[in-house]
Structure 1
């Protein structure tokens, strides 16, 4: 194994519950001293409304293609990045459970941390995954990420 180990991407979009342990184990490498992880969870409130859960839908083939594009951009910007894992959950995600789990390994922490931040910000702005917030009293609202809205607006 060692340093000849080929860089890998682990992309999964499914209704399975996400695991921080799983994504971190996927990216561990003997040549890397850093694994940076981001876990996005459902919070219980939004602008004064009590959120009970989120529901995610996606056009999976296009979403996977967009995430692969993000991985490619990460590799161009941070050539030292070794492995990239991006798992996104679809369907109902209750409060405190994870909707997205990202892990990236690199020899040094700076590149892994910067790449994870770039990954989640770009994912929210470009990947066709839609979020529905379900509230305790007022029903629900389909949410479009602000980042996605502004990106579309700038392209018009």
Structure 2
């Protein structure tokens, strides 16, 4: 039993050393910026710009949709738009049933259904230059002020 005293000291010392080794191994090395960086090339989106074209410009088919917000007694949307194919993204933020109709220049188009509060709808219109009126055709909403004038201008080339 002569070695018993040495074992009592050696076991705790080994445990402390093992814990210190795990602690040091678990700490990441300090890295400087750029070290071990991997450069990933941009993903090919399949979009190709013709030589001489500005990739920041959009064509008729790439125009952003026009946001339209219907609230009780009001239509919130731009009052001037460029001519051409236009997508209207309509949301009913009111408390009542609403719809959107656009009339003018021989065009009369409305959403395919009325929108309940919180619902959205989309409609496509090929706008020609001229004056239009946008309104809610539900009940007496138009008569109560839910209409606005819309001017469509020649498209800039």
TM, length-normalised to structure 1: 0.24
Query: Greater strand share, 1 or 2?
Result: 1
What TM-score results when the alignment is normalised by the length of structure 2? 0.24
Structure number, greater radius of gyration: 2
- The higher relative CO (CA closer than 8 Å, separation ≥ 6) is in 1
- Greater helix share, structure number: 1
